[in-house]
Structure 1
């Protein structure tokens, strides 16, 4: 498997296989939403689109990055997500890095979204797909995010060797500017940042599912998939979908 690492601006329009990485915090939040029972996540290109989607479907919680914004239910914090009930729900998500990166390669033949918590499962999907080339999209800091690059390299190494040690990659991510900014936000009391966010983003291989995105009814929709079969799975207790 040949690997390519790129930022969103330099990404080919439609690579055969793309893995979009956002560790802090979009795709850690997405994975935890699925673990807590969310059915699917719809990516929005703008905050207004996200709010419009929520208005048309009032039962859908909407997530965004940055400081809390009126109309949104979560400011992209995996720790604060624990206070929301997303069981059986469709979530709307809009972030500057992660969801934007996924939308940029929405026409990839296979599109996976990843963070450390689903890294091992993502590697297993790639191992079974056996692609000639995988394009890893590093979304943070204009494609220079150390935590996203470390996660992408860990996934690539896990494809080659299932027993690859995540520790060196987690250490690099822990020294990243993004981790420092979140820690500073905690010290400053920024709304939307939780003291446990960084630690939750630096847990490797927490969940057995990967996350695959595809177009559905004109929107890019993310779902959890089984690492072995690639088929959609239900990851938490369900209630009637909305």
Structure 2
């Protein structure tokens, strides 16, 4: 296997050449579902104020954030809720606690991919086909110690080396994570912004056939689906 690095956001020193930013629960599972529901692109916002300002200056852009529904925001960071949205051709503004922060931290890299389990296989195929070499995996949750994000990063690394790698052991680790328990507890307590299917959707490996690449487009950092070639 290639000698990949696994770091938290705070551990980044300089800008890596190739970065895969992992947020399983729930930012990049939500992003993948937004694209599956027809979104053209996702603008990653650095703050809630920036997200609302982008929405105000572009009235057709819905905005979403972590936590409970909030004034000015159209959606919350829940795959179970966003899978019912009609987003064909739309630009979505996303601000989350970990995922968008991690992506913006490495936005200057030559290649930035954002991933969760739903796009893990496609992400690995993209990296293998492009022969991009060693990857810096940015484990966004829990200051780089999130079990679900690390498991997903290691699964992608395994898939780069072996396209037949089994996701099951990695999914079991993610299912036992604190984030998965917190989601289940939030549902039990009736928190708004949590859907009963969120855990299952975050732990569905390789559902989507596209990786997600973040690039600077003028002053914005924009996430889009990327094409995967054979390899």
- TM class by shorter chain equals over 0.9
Q: Per-residue CA shift, 1:61-111, capped at 9, x if unaligned? A: 101112222111111000111332211100000001000000000001110
Alignment of 1:1-242 (within 5 A): 1-228=2-229
Find the residue that maps to 1:85 and give its secondary structure: coil
Distance in 1, Cα, partners of 2:85 & 2:209: 22
Which 5+ residue runs of structure 2 have no aligned equivalent? none
User: How many correspondences in the alignment?
Assistant: 230
> Residue 237 of structure 1 aligns with which residue?
none
Question: For each residue in 1:117-160, what CA deviation from the matched residue of structure 2 results, as whole angstroms up to 9, or x when unmatched?
Answer: 00000001110222332100000111110000000000000000
Contact 1:102 1:113 in 2 (8 A): yes
> Separation in 2 of the partners of 1:44 and 1:120?
26
How far apart, CA to CA, are the structure 1 residues paired with 2:83 and 2:34? 9
C-alpha distance after superposition, 1:185-224 (max 9, x if no partner): 0000000000100000000000110000000011100000
C-alpha RMSD of matched pairs (Å): 1.2
Q: Is contact 2:37–2:85 with CA below 8 Å preserved after alignment?
A: no
Runs of 4+ in 1 over 2 A off after TM superposition: none
**1:240 paired residue number:** none
Checking the alignment, whether the CA contact within 8 Å between 1:43 and 1:221 is kept in structure 2 is yes
Is the contact made by 1:19 and 1:113 (CA closer than 8 Å) also made in structure 2?
yes
**TM, length-normalised to structure 2:** 0.97
